[in-house]
Amino acid sequence: TTSERTINALRRSIARLNRFAPTYISKTGAQSDIRSNQGEYLMNISIGTPPFEILAIADTGRSLTGGPTVTLPKSIIGCGHNNEGSFSEKGSGIIGLGGGAVSLISQMSSLISEKFSYCLVPFSSESGISQINFGTNAVVSGSGVVSTPLIKNPPEVFYFLTLEAISVDDDKLEFTGSSLGTSEGNIIINSGTTLTLFPQDFYSKLEASVANKIDAKHIDAPIESLRLCYEANRTAELRVPNITMHFRNADVKLSPLNTFLLVSEGISCFTFSSFQGLAIYGNLAQMNFLVGYDIENQALSFKPTQCS
């Protein structure tokens, strides 16, 4: 069922956290489909000659390789011999879109002007398919665009942002930093993680603020990674507060679609949770935004967009 797939995807996302191209391409752009898979986003990629097409998780928190590598002409592709963790039946691996030296982005950097963007469709989208763009076609511009600096922190595979605060309606909560103990580059953005995660101390304040503004029956979460759940047959039944992410120089206002998820029949849960590690801005918070990475200029842009 849909709820079972959603819950399984959430479990896979947390499990992965705990384990924590073609020869010719035009500089003006390349494009691939990106598909919703109930908590994960799968990207089409073709390998070899003749090309063999696979679907794999599009993950901005990974390099292309996760184990020993096989070197092909002008490409490095990971080859796993001791594969662990939990993956869906549809996905055949991970497409590393991170900043590491052997990620797909790094290997194509000179061909794509160090730019890529994606638009993640909501779970409820009938088509479930959008696009990921590379090169100058990936530039995010126009009305409604806000941009925040990409911060260079180790490890280089991650894209770090600076989150200054989160507003829950008119209640503004300052975010001083993650477990790294720094306020500069204190959160990573990751398309391969489903939930948005914060250290326990900050998350507890955020949860209390959100819960204080929702008048609905609180119920137990169906899985451990979810913390705040309510009885609701549709998320629209909940009168949820407005949540705004205050990144440096960029305020990103989330919709109820981003902040609450119908995880099973009659249960809607907050898409933020706690994690004792890096703070992570997950893919549910990125749905229906065009998200552009300009690595050359060290900037990340958000533009509210109907992705489906």
| 41-66 pLDDT, tens digit each | 777 666 666 666 767 666 655 554 43
Q: What confidence score (pLDDT) does residue 117 get?
A: 92
The whole model's pTM is what?
Answer: 0.81
Buried b (16+ CB within 10 A) or exposed e, 94-105: bbbbbbbebbbb
Q: What confidence score (pLDDT) does residue 70 get?
A: 39
Residues paired with residue 307 on neighbouring β-strands, in sequence order: none
d(CA 1, CA 97): 30
Residues paired with residue 116 on neighbouring β-strands, in sequence order: 134, 293
Task: Give residue 153's Cα distance to chain centre.
Answer: 18
3-state SS, residue 16: helix
Arithmetic mean of pLDDT over the chain:
81
Mean pLDDT on 184-210: 94
Domain 2-304 has CATH 3.40.50.300: no
Structure tokens at 276: 């004792």
In this prediction, what percent of the chain has a pLDDT beyond 90? 45
Give residue 23's pLDDT band: very low, low, confident or very high (50, 70, 90): very low
Give residue 69's pLDDT band: very low, low, confident or very high (50, 70, 90): very low
d(CA 146, CA 110): 25
Tell me: the pLDDT tens digits for 117-164? 999 998 777 667 888 888 888 999 999 999 999 999 988 889 999 999
pLDDT at 72 over 50: no
Neighbours of 170 (CB within 10 A): 8
Q: What confidence score (pLDDT) does residue 134 get?
A: 87
d(CA 91, CA 151): 30
Buried b (16+ CB within 10 A) or exposed e, 290-308: bbbbbbeeebbbbbbbebb
pLDDT at 304 over 50: yes
